[in-house]
Amino acid sequence: MAFSNLRTCPSCGAVNRIPAKHLADEGRCGSCREPLPPLSSPLQVSSSDFDEIIREARVPVFVDFWAAWCGPCWAAAPEVEALARDLAGEVIVLKIDTERDGKLAGRYRVQSIPNFVIFRNGQPVFQKAGTAPRSEMRQWIAQAAA
């Protein structure tokens, strides 16, 4: 089954399914036809959804590899959430729990967390471990998108 994100219409409350390739797009509600904003918060996804999203995305995909026991991961989380809000429509932000998806973390050689990887056209183009301010994360995305 193909990935779809459920997005609630802010106008009428209808639930809309958004396919991976349209996560960063502004769409229209299937019920009332009012605009649906692009994804503006991080998505926690499984490895199968992850593969589809990075393959189908038309914008850079910023991935936060994290774990619940990791203090620096919790410190970075508000910056990652704000980044998703600030760059809605320009980037898709994913969160991968390394405890649940260790194989996926291993695929990208994640050895310390938080670990951030940016994908473009389905391929990793940037990777960095450790916390960073949102301004620095924005620079990474700008470089990856260039």
Computed on alpha carbons and rounded to an integer, the radius of gyration of the chain in Å comes to: 15
Query: How is 45-109 classified by DSSP, letter by letter?
Result: --HHHHHHHHHH-SS-EEEEEE-TT-HHHHHHHHHHHHHHHHTBTTBEEEEEETTT-HHHHHHTT
Catalytic residue, chosen from 9, 12, 29, 73, is 73
* Token output for 100: 């649940």
Nearest to 27 by CA among 43, 15, 41: 15
Q: Catalytic site residue 73? A: yes
Nearest to 113 by CA among 78, 65, 145: 65
Catalytic residue, chosen from 9, 12, 32, 70, is 70
Strand partners, 121: none
Catalytic residue positions, numbered: 70, 73
